[in-house]
Amino acid sequence: MHIVIPAERLAGERRVAATPDTVKKLVGAGHAVTVERGAGIQAAIPDAAYAEAGAKLSEQRQALLAQADIALTVRMPAAADLEALKPGAALIGMLAPYGNPLLPELAARGISAFALELLPRTTRAQSMDVLSSQNNIAGYKAVLLAAEYYPRFMPMLMTAAGTVKPARLLVLGVGVAGLQAIATAKRLGAVVEAYDVRPATREQVESLGAKFIEVPMTDEEKAASGGVYAREMTAEFLARQNALLAKRAAAADIVITTALIPGKPAPRLLDAAAVAAMRPGSVIVDLAAEAGGNCELTRAGEAWQTDNGVHLVGLANLPALLAADASSLYARNLLAFLGLLLGAEGLRIDLADDLIAATLLTHQGEQRFGAAPTPAVPAPARQEPHHHG
């Protein structure tokens, strides 16, 4: 197979979908690999390192894509890039499947597109889990960003001039990013509290030395809060939750929010009143900024300060700020996923494989994800045509 790695063109994206280590393994397995020149520069990987690993280098982006049997990317390519891909080619990356307007175009061109964000959170998928590998980095970087904006020390310090109290840090959302934020903040000496709608995360929080905050729940609410991902809860529960979180935020110096619901706007955990009650110099780092933010006042892609002196950090794509390690982990995830697709006969898409079926957005001219269902009864002749999306 001919596997190509184009440079990422999305603003602020510094990662790359392959490293010399993964290229070497693909070439060793008998595949041809071509990398667009400069693709790894912002991830601290020079072109020469790819060439040494056995890849060819290309400066012609459209020609590169046109040759691809498989294109590996970090983010969804632009429409002009998709037009260069040949029918039957595979596109693999973090393709932002929810509401993506380019999915019909992928289907129309006969591309087999895989969105790795949709991988089930199962033991078999762990080595391919791009969300875990990248969220781990985001949680770490969120604490470093908080330390940068926070005008005090994180740890307790005892000096001849007096004692400095440790920072009080609150983590909202205890997935992979939240757990890494807790661990990083503890290493920096902060006193840490954490909250998640899933009571089952208490043990993980306490194992890292943080205090778990719990909102009282009814039996029905406990049933709804199960599972790997947070789900939307009742209005009554949300009112109790937000009142408690506002109280804990007012006592905190730093709040890091990480709560996301796949395919939905981020849950609102802190309103404007909660931010107004926080102390001057406090910091909120909102990792859900691109999904609307867990804080009402978050501005996606910005860091700004409120009138009462609270820093609100809504910077996007934190893994790209640590592009070298982020790319290394991501490339290994892709290599593991390719193990499901590459066989002696070339590209093999087994729809009976649960990991392949879950991530496959488009295949053989069909949009498998996000398309409106086909009506059971033919539409009346005068009805406006239905647009898939």
Residues labelled as active-site residues: 121, 126, 129, 132, 229
Helices (H), 188-255: 202-207, 219-224, 235-251
Residue with tokens 């990317």: 73
Residues linked to residue 285 through DSSP beta bridges, in sequence order: 256, 313
CA neighbor of 340 nearest in space, from 328, 327, 326, 352: 352
Rounded to 10 degrees, the C-alpha dihedral 265/266/269/270 comes to -80
Other Cβ atoms closer than 10 A to 294: 26
Residue positions counted in the chain: 389
Query: Is residue 137 within 8 Å of residue 74, measured between CB atoms?
Result: no
Name residue 288's amino acid: A
CB 171 within 8 A of CB 185: yes
DSSP codes, 105-170: HHHHTT-EEEEGGG---SGGGGGG-HHHHHHHHHHHHHHHHHHHH-SS-SS-EEETTEEEPPPEEE
For residue 20, which phi and psi values (nearest 5 degrees)?
-55, -35
CA distances from 31 to 7, 93, 329 (A): 20, 19, 21
6-38 CB burial, b ≥16 within 10 A, e <16: bbbeeeebbbbbbbbebbbbbbeeebebbbbee
**CB of 297 within 8 A of CB of 164?**
no
Amino acid code (one letter) for 359: T
